[in-house]
Chains A and B, each alone.
Chain A
């Protein structure tokens, strides 16, 4: 059973005051996230990431389609005991301290006061707010609130965590903490579904990603499969090139770059069969230093899909 499933999830917002028209924020999103996976939900601003997360949390209701979490329809209150959610730019009550807020939430999760106390202390330490536990949230910075948000998402030792841009507002240290935190969750077997437009985070963390653009799923799959599929070519570095061979290289390979210590970098096309090229070059007296595939970075891949996404329908 997948941890998260969505089935043609669609959301229209009514926009315009005098003549409200539907605006399709999300269009037929079908996804499935396996248990234990770290899943990156990527897309540019306004793509529909937060809309999807709000639908999964049943903060908004779908125009059509459906979604299930841990096998139950979204909105099943019992399932909320087993999940955590961090909203985009979260806000909590100004007049409470971090400790009070989390204790309140812990009690809602069904912990007794004593259990709540230890649980709250442990998550506050985990997000690095141990020292500020008694401070009112009013005096917290953006990044500190973000950490409170993470703490409350992890409070109940969830089986599935939903994070809407978990890195936003965090300093480089904080981002690394969050990366480590997500990796820690994965080790524990927790399913993590997070949205982001920061691709390096996704590259570092995710088993699988989905790219959403203009409200539609543009691509999804295992990160290495997606990028390998987009193989651009190979970079072959050779050395000890005999004079006779060197003279023929530009004609045979087009792109030839001389590197230090007599090394030469050659660029091969994606379909160049590097094994064959290497044996030929060896036979002609060169030694092989290295061979590397040249891939689209996630960024290139992302750009390509986002640019080619069709504009979303409005005023249906």
Chain B
């Protein structure tokens, strides 16, 4: 446990030193610029647009961090052979890998927290500046705590994507791992369509194949409740609980597979 914690800390420190702060700054600047512009252009819609844009940016920036840092975590160490230094310390390969994972999850958490704070700050000021009459017309209050539901699910999705990136990077090149992870992310968001493939075609093998793909590929659509939250539609607690449980199981399987593959690899 201590070894995993030490490894996680190292990853976190590296990301702080390297790229991650920049993405946060870029995000904050974009957010503020966009919201000012938009609140000038539209009437009444501005809160929804800020929320839409903010949550979308949050998940996209998070995705970029998860994929690009996630893929680099292991492949860089293996390619540059710094892995020799670590794996000859009293640290099992499983601990090495889990430390990497935990470190990136920590990085993501801090990152999301900062971006969430930035988003709420923009909403708070826009709210202050909006006239009373306009406020009455909103479907949801500007500073709406329910947005946190969407953000928690985004975080869970990003944890899953990180596990995917880590999994692919234990046995493929960085390029392949990136492409496969991004590909699965896209496919994962359209995955639910596969379940109902039977209504579109009626060839049994194709339907069967679609079913298999449906169960293997992560199902990411349920993680996206941005639309509901922005429009003030209630998101059932049960939906959130099921989705989080799904994420936990999927991540557990991915990490187990990663540890198994990584544990048998030759570092030549």
> A residues engaging B (CB < 8 A)?
13, 54, 57, 59-61, 77-78, 80-81, 83, 85, 87, 90-93, 95, 104-105, 107-110, 152
Contacts and interface: CB of A to CB of B under 8 A. Distances in A.
B268 A60 contact: yes
Nearest to B268: A60
A83 to B, nearest CB: 8
Interface string B47-64: 000000000000000000
A26 to B, nearest CB: 13
Contact of A61 (B14, B86, B266): B266
Contacts of B14: 93, 95
B80 interface: yes
B90 interface: yes
Given A77-B91, A78-B90, A108-B90, A152 B267 contact: no
- Among B14, B84, B86, chain A packs the most CB atoms within 10 A around the CB of B84
A104 B10 CA distance: 8
A115 to B, nearest CB: 14
A54 B267 contact: yes
Contact of A80 (B83, B89, B266): B89
Interface string B228-268: 00000000000000000000000000000000000010111
Contacts of A152: 85
A161 to B, nearest CB: 11
A292 B17 CA distance: 64
A303 B28 CA distance: 67
B82 interface: yes
B267 A59 contact: yes
Given A87-B85, A105-B85, A107-B6, A95 B90 contact: no
Interface in B81-109: 81-92
Contacts of B83: 59
30 contacts: A13-B268, A57-B84, A57-B87, A57-B88, A59-B84, A59-B87, A60-B268, A61-B264, A77-B91, A77-B92, A80-B90, A80-B91, A81-B90, A83-B88, A85-B84, A85-B88, A87-B81, A87-B84, A87-B88, A90-B84, A90-B85, A91-B81, A91-B85, A92-B82, A92-B85, A95-B18, A104-B10, A105-B89, A110-B90, A152-B85
Contacts of B87: 57, 59
Interface string B177-215: 000000000000000000000000000000000000000
Nearest to A105: B89
A59 B266 contact: yes
Contacts of B18: 95
Nearest to B7: A108
Contacts of B267: 54, 59-60
Contact of B266 (A60, A90, A93): A60
Interface string B110-149: 0000000000000000000000000000000000000000
Contacts of B6: 104, 107-108
CB-based closest 4 A-B pairs: A60-B266, A85-B88, A87-B84, A80-B90
A60 B268 CA distance: 7
A59 B88 contact: yes
B163 to A, nearest CB: 23
